[in-house]
């Protein structure tokens, strides 16, 4: 089958392209942002990429068009597909029908931590010899790819693994299907990491997101398992709307707990009050402990012993763009992190604070997500940055005044509309033993390397 993917350079749709190609399909695709690294990754798979959405792409005559949610009405190629009556399908639905059908799907949902928890869970299953497939919105360092089909377990050498781990996004499916992506996945094991208001361009309020999460809960079978953050009242409300599946909670004394956290990041794992083992790793922060508990619980449902999961996590290498060290100049370290929601910003800065102690943290923020651009969360920014010593905010292309929003911390925060000027200001103030934490859900104009280059010139 020949499939042509519209919006192929997004992480999710790019992952679908990789899976489709591995399954033996001919895959082509188009997007408006055909550039590395996604373009080179896809081209290395033998996938032809086309810049833009010219209607002449209908002459490729694919068997079906797979449409990403970046595509809206008015897109010239999509309009041609509709006018000609050509077959099309959303990415999540294609995935559900062609990859996930018949699989034991382990889906990880939540406002924060989906990528990291999905990566932990996939790695645990891999470590246990279960050879899962996965589609993750980032690149787990333990695998170096974001998506793959289920493999044949080494100890089996006959049948393909039934397990598939997927990062279950609540964002909408496509312009013609406004349900959340995750309602298509039909998981047997569902992780509900947390639930806050986000995606203000799609959802009116928190209740609207809770409704979508309940749609997900409704699809989990009685023989399945829901692993839910016990600290989240929003998730409790979701479950109380109706639940037909066993629930295990983490983060409270109901089921799974993290105890005796250490400065190195290590902690003990408790299940129903009983010590199960000790996770010895260097990932910092309560959010990573919660992610670990969720992945251990989900893996246990798939048959992995708790002690095996704990052993796997000691070898977990995290995900690219999660507190990733980009370089060091004159004892000044530059980090890259995907944090963009105020809660994620706060936990990320707090995690770094636990690591560096009294050394200065220079937080560099780009409010780039649709929710942040709309200004819905701007009032929460000052509190989320309280652990930082100095704050640099890139305020270009916002619909609100970043300097005004940061007034409560004006003594340590400044906004810039010029990226070059901001880089020079960072380099001018940075001192040995400082830690520069860059946070954005985009490329941020390659600011990480620009800061490192500016630091080299200032030595």
Give me the pLDDT at residue 439, please.
87
pLDDT digits (tens, 9 = 90+) for 367-390: 876 666 666 677 888 888 888 999
Give all domains of the chain, ordered by start, each with its CATH number.
Answer: 2-92 (3.40.50.720), 102-313 (3.40.1190.10), 324-458 (3.90.190.20)
| Whether the predicted pLDDT of 355 surpasses 90 | no
Q: For 409-419, write each residue's pLDDT tens digit.
A: 888 888 888 88
Q: Report the pLDDT averaged over residues 353-371.
A: 84
Is residue 259 within 8 A of residue 267, CB to CB? The reply is yes
The whole-number average pLDDT for the span 15-39 is 88
**What percent of the chain clears pLDDT 90, i.e. is strictly above it?**
56
Instruction: Quickly state the pLDDT bin for 305 (edges 50, 70, 90).
Output: very high
> Rounded CA gap, 146 and 140, in Å?
7
Does 163 have pLDDT greater than 90?
A: yes
**Triad 342, 201, 179: Cα angle to 5°:** 110
Q: What contacts 381, CB < 8 A, 6 or more positions away?
A: 342, 345, 365, 367, 393, 405, 406
Structure tokens at 436: 């520069």
Mean pLDDT of 247-262: 93
HEC profile for the chain? Answer: CEEEEECCCCHHHHHHHHHHHHCCCEEEEEECCCCCCHHHHHHHCCCEEEECCCHHHHHHCCCEEEECCCCCCCCHHHHHHHHHCCCEEEHHHHHHHHHHCCCEEEEEECCCCHHHHHHHHHHHHHHCCCCCEEECCCCECCCCCCEECCCCCCCCCCCCCCEEEEECCCCEEECCEEEEHHHHCCCCEEEECCCCCCCCCCCCCHHHHHHHHHHHHHCCCCCCEEEEECCCHHHHHHHHCCCCCCEEEECCCCCEEEECCCCCCCEEEEECCEEEEEECCCCCCHHHHHHHHHHHHHHHHCCCCHHHHHHHHCCCCCECCCCEEEEEECCEEEEEECCCCHHHHHHHHHHHHHHHCCCCEEEEECCCCHHHHCCCCHHHHHHHCCCCCEEEEECCCCCCCHHHHCHHHCCCEEEECCHHHHHHHHHHHCCCCCEEEEECCCCHHHHHHHHHHHHHHHC
pLDDT, tens digit, for every residue of 426-435? 988 889 999 9
pLDDT digits (tens, 9 = 90+) for 179-226: 999 999 999 999 999 887 666 667 678 888 899 999 999 999 999 999
Rounded mean pLDDT of 342-368? 85
> What's the confidence (pLDDT) of residue 375?
65
Sequence-separated (6 or more) residues with CB below 8 Å from residue 336: 321, 324, 326, 438, 448
Looking up tokens 């790819």, which residue turns up?
145
Each residue of 38-66: pLDDT tens digit?
777 788 888 999 999 999 999 999 999 99
In DSSP terms, 438 is beta-bridged to 336, 364
pLDDT score recorded for residue 292: 95
Please give the pLDDT value at position 382: 85
> Residue 93: which residues within 8 A CB-CB, separation 6 or more?
173, 177, 184
- Asked whether residue 133 carries a pLDDT value surpassing 80, the answer given is yes
pLDDT value at residue 459: 61
Q: Poorest-confidence range of 108-122, 222-236, 367-381?
A: 367-381
Q: In the prediction, which pLDDT does 321 show?
A: 67
> At residue 256, does pLDDT exceed 90?
yes
pTM for this predicted structure: 0.78
Average pLDDT over residues 170-180: 92
Q: Which of 133, 198, 195 is nearest to 172 (CA)?
A: 198
Largest CA distance in the chain: 64
Query: What is d(CA 78, CA 65) in angstroms, rounded to the nearest whole number?
Result: 9
pLDDT at 264 over 70: yes
- Measured distance CA(346)–CA(339) in Å, rounded: 9
pLDDT at 372: 67
pLDDT range class, residue 348, cuts 50, 70, 90:
confident
Determine the pLDDT at residue 405: 83
Mean pLDDT of 447-453: 87
Q: Which residues lie closer than 8 Å to 112 by C-beta, 6 or more apart? A: 193, 194, 196, 287, 341, 343, 344, 347
The residue that leads in pLDDT, 373 or 355, is 355
pLDDT for 373 equals: 62
Q: Residue written as tokens 């690591």? A: 355
**Percent of residues, the chain, with pLDDT higher than 70:** 95
Given a contact cutoff of 8 angstroms between Cβ atoms, the answer to whether 324 and 140 are in contact is: no
Query: Could you tell me if 370 and 200 are in contact, meaning their C-beta atoms sit under 8 angstroms apart?
Result: yes
Please, what is the end-to-end C-alpha distance for the chain in angstroms? 57
Q: According to the model, what pLDDT value does residue 144 have?
A: 78
Q: Which of 255-269, 303-317, 335-349 has the lowest mean pLDDT?
A: 335-349
Joined tokens for residue 138 = 């980032």
Please tell me the predicted confidence (pLDDT) of residue 361.
93
Asked whether the predicted pLDDT for residue 319 surpasses 80, the reply is no
Mean pLDDT value across the chain: 89
């Amino acid at each position: 089958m020949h499939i042509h993917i519209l919006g192929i350079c997004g992480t999710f749709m790019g992952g679908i392209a990789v899976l489709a190609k591995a399954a033996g399909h001919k895959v082509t695709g188009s997007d408006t942002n055909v550039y590395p690294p996604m373009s080179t990754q896809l081209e290395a798979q033998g996938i032809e990429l086309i810049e833009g959405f010219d209607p002449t792409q209908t002459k490729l005559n694919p068997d079906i068009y797979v449409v990403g949610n970046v595509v809206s009405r008015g897109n010239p190629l999509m309009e041609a597909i509709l006018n000609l009556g050509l077959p099309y399908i959303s990415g999540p639905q294609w995935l559900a029908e062609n990859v996930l059908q018949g699989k034991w799907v382990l889906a990880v949902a939540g406002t924060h931590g989906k990528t990291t928890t999905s990566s932990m869970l996939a790695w645990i299953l891999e470590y246990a010899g279960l050879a899962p497939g996965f589609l993750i919105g980032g690149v787990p360092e333990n695998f170096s790819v974001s998506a793959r089909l289920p493999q044949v377990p080494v100890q089996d050498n006959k049948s393909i693994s039934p397990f598939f781990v997927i990062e279950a996004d609540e964002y909408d499916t496509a312009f013609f299907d406004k349900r959340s992506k995750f309602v298509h996945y039909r998981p047997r094991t569902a992780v509900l990491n947390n639930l806050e208001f986000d995606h203000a361009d799609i959802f009116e309020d928190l209740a609207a997101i809770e409704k979508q999460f309940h749609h997900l809960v409704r699809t989990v079978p009685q023989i399945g398992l829901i692993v839910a953050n016990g600290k989240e009242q929003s998730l409790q409300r979701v479950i109380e709307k109706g639940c037909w599946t066993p629930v295990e909670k983490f983060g409270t004394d109901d089921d799974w707990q993290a105890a005796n956290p250490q400065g190195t990041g290590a902690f003990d794992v408790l299940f129903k009050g009983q010590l199960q083992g000790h996770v010895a790793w260097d990932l910092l922060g309560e959010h990573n402990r919660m992610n670990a508990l969720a992945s251990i619980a989900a893996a246990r449902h798939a048959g992995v012993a708790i002690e095996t999961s704990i052993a796997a996590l000691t070898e977990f290498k995290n995900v690219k763009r999660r507190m990733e060290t980009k370089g060091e100049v004159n004892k000044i370290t530059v980090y890259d992190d995907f944090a963009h929601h105020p809660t994620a910003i706060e936990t990320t800065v707090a995690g770094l604070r636990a690591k560096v102690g009294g050394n200065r943290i220079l937080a560099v923020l780009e409010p780039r997500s649709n929710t942040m651009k709309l200004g819905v969360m701007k009032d929460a920014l000052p509190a989320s940055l309280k652990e930082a010593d100095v704050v640099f905010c890139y305020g270009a292309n916002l619909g609100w005044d970043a300097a005004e929003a940061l007034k409560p911390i004006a003594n340590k925060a400044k906004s810039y509309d010029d990226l070059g000027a901001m880089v020079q200001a960072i380099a001018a103030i940075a001192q040995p033993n400082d830690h520069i934490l860059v946070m954005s859900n985009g490329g941020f104009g390659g600011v990480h390397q620009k800061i490192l280059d500016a630091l080299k010139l200032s030595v």
